[in-house]
Amino acid sequence: MENDAKGPLHGVTVLELSSMYAAPTCGRMMRDFGATVIKVEDPVAGDFARQWSPFKNGLSLGFSRLNSGKRSLGIDLRSEDGREIVRDLIPHVDVVLESFRPGRMEAWGLGYDILSSLNPGVVMTRVSGFGQTGPYSERPGFGTVAETSSGYAYINGW
């Protein structure tokens, strides 16, 4: 189950609970550095990025670029059974990478306090548009939102 790459993260296992772009990019970098990354997707729809064009042989090239080399599991995180599967995996991973809005993991019973009680050494990495606290923390984050909020779009004349 290990990644064959012998990078600095060789031997590290990452459980990636994410979709779209930002967190999958982090997971891809971890995989490139040798980690074994297990991506959790909705068992019916999968990651929304699977629908991004362009496609080759029916597969999204963007999704493939972000997720190649990762293992994949279909788990419904909205169901208690799905969340129990995640809790069962926690003792076997080193890092949890997630990209939900702040508070979602806690509402599901998958917050750091619960996960670290199952694996005291687990590292939780959270990727959200505007951080975990603060006045904009509940807002969704996406590339175009970040570009306009930061002034990047203005600087580039978009």
Q: Domain ranges in the chain? A: 13-127
Q: What is the pLDDT of residue 136?
A: 83
Rounded CA separation 113/108 (Å): 12
Q: Quick check: 97 and 80 in contact, CB under 8 A?
A: no
Which fold would CATH assign to domain 13-127? Rossmann fold (3.40.50)
Rounded CA separation 1/69 (Å): 11
What would the pLDDT profile of 109-142 be if each residue is shown by its tens digit? 999 999 999 999 999 999 987 778 888 878 777 7
Q: What is the pLDDT of residue 1?
A: 58
Beta bridge partners of 95: 14, 123
The distance from CA 36 to its chain's CA centroid, rounded to whole angstroms, is 13
89, pLDDT greater than 70: yes
Nearest to 110 by CA among 80, 141, 131: 80
Q: pTM (2 decimals)? A: 0.88
Q: Is 6 exposed, middle or buried (0-12, 13-18, 19+ CB in 10 A)?
A: exposed
